[in-house]
């Protein structure tokens, strides 16, 4: 999926639901969010009998949960019929196309422009401001 199509999906969701909060958007879309023990797995998305699920490791920090939810929401919106690989520490910088697209979606959803008050921020300053992982730097303008 092209970046501009993902940008459009993000902006339509933000306009429709009046928020960039991935938890609230997922709820409004009827996606079930399950917090559970997943070991080394951070989270994953799956669809079972037309019901969409986002699974999040209960042992992640609040900051990580926001990114994980946004990333998995990206799968639910951009790849709704594909069950995704589980996001773990080892696969977190995956080069799979659908993982890149979910990362792009998450970055565009979370970065709302409020960082513009910062004086000449670097990409890494912006990512830190929003609590996003450093490896999303390729998606920050």
> What confidence tier does 69 reach under pLDDT thresholds 50, 70, 90?
very high
Which domains does the chain carry?
A: 3-134 (1.10.10.2910)
Rounded to the nearest integer, the mean pLDDT of the chain is 91
- Residue 22 has, within 13 A of its CA and on its CB side, a CA count of 27
Label residue 86 by pLDDT band (50, 70, 90): low
- Taking 70 as the threshold, does the pLDDT of residue 39 lie above it? yes
**Average pLDDT value for residue range 64-78:** 97
pLDDT at residue 15, rounded to an integer: 98
Task: Give the span between the Cα atoms of 115 and 96, in whole angstroms.
Answer: 29
| 104-124 average pLDDT score | 93
CA angle 56, 52, 89 (to 5 degrees): 30
């Amino acid at each position: 999926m092209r970046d501009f199509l993902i940008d459009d999906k993000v902006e339509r969701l933000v306009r429709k639901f009046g928020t960039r909060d991935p938890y609230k958007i997922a709820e409004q879309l009827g996606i079930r969010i399950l917090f559970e023990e997943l070991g080394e797995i951070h989270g994953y998305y799956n669809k079972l009998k037309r019901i969409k699920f986002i699974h999040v490791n209960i042992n992640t920090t609040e900051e990580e949960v926001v990114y994980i939810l946004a990333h998995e929401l990206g799968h639910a919106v951009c790849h709704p019929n594909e069950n995704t690989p589980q996001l773990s520490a080892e696969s977190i910088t995956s080069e799979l196309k659908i993982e890149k697209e979910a990362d792009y979606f998450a970055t565009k959803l979370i970065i709302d422009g409020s960082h513009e008050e910062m004086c000449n921020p670097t990409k890494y300053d912006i990512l830190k401001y929003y609590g996003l992982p450093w490896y999303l730097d390729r998606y920050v303008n």
